[in-house]
Structure 1
Amino acid sequence: MPTLPPEQREQSDPSPQEPHRARRMAESFGVDAQRYDTARPGYPDALMARIVAGSPGREVLDIGCGTGIAARQFQAAGCAVLGVEPDARMAGFARARGLPVEVAAFEAWQPAGRRFDTVIAAQSWHWVDPVAGAAKAARVLRPGGRLAIFGHAYEPPAEVAEPFAAACRRVVPDSPFNGMPARRPLDLYRAAYTKTAGTIRETGRFEAPEQWRFDWRQSYTRDQWLDLLPTTGGLTRLRPDQLAEVLGAVGAAIDSLGGHFTMEFTTLAATAVRAGTS
C-alpha cells in the first residue's frame, strides 16, 4: 500500500522505519471519518476470540482506536472498551457509535491509575513510539493481562497493485518509495511484527511474546476498493487532482478484471502476557 510522499512528510523528515514521528500523517485519517469507518475491513473473528479468551477479564484499552472498528468487535464480545485516539474527528465519530474515547497520543495519555485486562492496537501501533509504547502498555495492564498488536497486510493482486504504483510514480515522481515493488512481500510485514515482539520482550515486563497469523479473503468491487484507497496513509493528504489520477488508474485496472477482484488478506499479531504479580 502507498507510503507518504516526500513533500508531505514531516519537516523533520522521519525515516520510513520511524512512522511514529510523522505526527501530521498519523492524525490525517480523520479527514473523512465516515469513509474510513465504512471502507476499512474489520478483523477476523478467530483473532478477536483468541485475544478475549487469553485475557483475565473484559476491560480493554484500545490504542489509536480510530473510528472504533476493532473496539466495536470487542464490545460485541462483551468487553468494556476505552479508546485513546489523537485525532478528535475520529474520536468524535467513535463516540457517536457508543465508544468512550479520550483524545490523546498514547505516549502522552494519562491513565490516572486505571488498569486494564487487555491492551490492543489495531492497525495503529506503527504510529506509537515502539519503546515508550510497550513500556506504557505494561504499566496499564494488570498482571496476567494481554497486550495484542495486530493489523492487516494490504496487498492487492498485481493487476491492481502495479497500475496503482505506476500512477503514484506519475503523481509524485521524486518519491524515494518509487523504487519499492508494487506488491510488498509478506515477509516484510512479518519482519515488522517480529521487531515489535522483540521490543515487547525488551521491556522485561512480559512473558515470551507470540506471533499469530490469520489468512482470509474478501471480494471487492471497483467502487468498494476506490472507497477504501483514500483512507490509506499515502493518499490521505494528496491534492484532489492527484487523488483523482491515482483512483482513475486503479479503477481502469479493476474494470479490466471485470469490475471486481479478490483480496487475499493476512492479519498478523504480536502479543504477550504481562508478567509479575503487581
Structure 2
Amino acid sequence: MSDVRATSFGSEADTYEASRPDYPFEAVAWMLEKLPHGARRIADVGAGTGKLTRVIADAPDAQVVAVDPDAAMLAKLRDTVPGVPTYVGTAESLPLPDASLDAVVLGQAWHWVDPETASAEIGRVVRPGGTLGLIWNARDNRVDWVRRFTAIMHASAAEEMLDAGGPTVAAPFGELETGRWEWVRPMTRAQLHRMADSRSYLITASEQERASIHEGMDALFDELGVAGEDTIDLPYVTTAFRARRRD
C-alpha cells in the first residue's frame, strides 16, 4: 500500500468511521462460508477503523486480528471493536506467523496493493485450503444522479479497478469466485458531504479543489431537493470475491 492516498485516511479516521457504510452480513458470510467448522482464525488486512472487522468479530466461531499501515486508523478500530488484536502492517508485509490463519480478508483495500506480492505474502500466512476474501461497497453508478455525484467527487481507485474488470490475485491462490448484493442507504445532505470528505481524493486535494467539489455537490443536491434532514436513497452494490489457497 505505497500510494500516498492509501495511507491518507488516518487524518480523517473519525469521518471515515462515521460516514462509510457497513458491509452486508450476507456478503461477508459468503466470502468465508468455505472455511472449516470450529474456531476460525481470520486477519482483516487494511482494516481501517474496523468496518469489516466488526462483522467478522460478531461471528461466534471467529478469532479475528486486524492489520493496517496507519496507526491512527487502528486506534479508532480499538475504540469501535474492543478486544481485537491490532498490528501495523501491509498486505505485502504481514507481522503474522506462517500458516497461522484460515483466511485473510480485505475490505476496500486490494486496489491499493501489489497483487502478486500481496498474494504471495498472504499465501504465506494462510493454511493450505484457506481463503483470500476481497470486498467492496461501491455506489451504483447506473443511477443517473449517483453517476453525476461520482463525477463531481472523482471516481475512486476502487471504482476504476472494478469497472476495468475487477481484482486479480496470484499464486498460491486459485480462481476468484464473485458475489454481488444490491441495497440502499438513506443519507442526508450533510452525511453525503461527510462521506465525500472520507475519500482519499478529497483528503489529499488542495483546499481550493475541496471547496470546488463541495460547491458542485451542493448544486446537485439543490437540484435534487435534498435539504436539511431530508434523505435520499443512495444505492450501493457490494461485490465480494473469494479464492482458495492451493495445497
1:205-247 superposed Cα distances (whole Å, 9 cap, x missing partner): 2343211212222222111111100111211112334322311
Structure 2 match to 1:110:
95
Q: In structure 1, how many angstroms separate the alpha carbons of the residues matched to 2:85 and 2:114?
A: 23
How much does 1:251 deviate? 2.3
Q: How does 1:1-278 map to 2 (within 5 A)?
A: 20-22=1-3, 24-56=4-36, 57-78=39-60, 79-97=62-80, 98=82, 99-113=84-98, 115-155=100-140, 157-159=143-145, 161-162=147-148, 165=151, 189=162, 191-193=164-166, 195-196=167-168, 199-200=169-170, 203=171, 205-259=172-226, 260-276=231-247
Q: Which range moves more in the overlay, 241-250 or 114-123? A: 241-250
Count of equivalent residues: 236
SS in 2 for 1:25: coil
Q: In structure 2, how many angstroms separate the alpha carbons of the residues matched to 1:25 and 1:187?
A: 15
CA contact (8 A) 2:93 2:121 kept: no
SS in 2 for 1:96: helix
Give identity over the alignment, percent: 30
SS in 2 for 1:235: helix
Amino acid at match of 1:158: D
Q: TM-score, normalised by structure 1?
A: 0.76
Amino acid at match of 2:207: P
SS in 1 for 2:117: helix
Q: TM-score, normalised by structure 2?
A: 0.85
Amino acid at match of 1:247: H
SS in 1 for 2:203: coil
Show structure 1 runs of 5+ residues with no match: 1-19, 169-176
Show structure 2 runs of 5+ residues with no match: none
RMSD of aligned residue pairs (Cα, Å): 2.6
Select the structure that is richer in helix. 1
1:16-74 superposed Cα distances (whole Å, 9 cap, x missing partner): xxxx542x211101111111011000111111222332212421101100011100111
Structure 2 match to 1:9:
none
How much does 1:160 deviate? 5.1
1:66-106 superposed Cα distances (whole Å, 9 cap, x missing partner): 01110011111222211110011101111233132111222
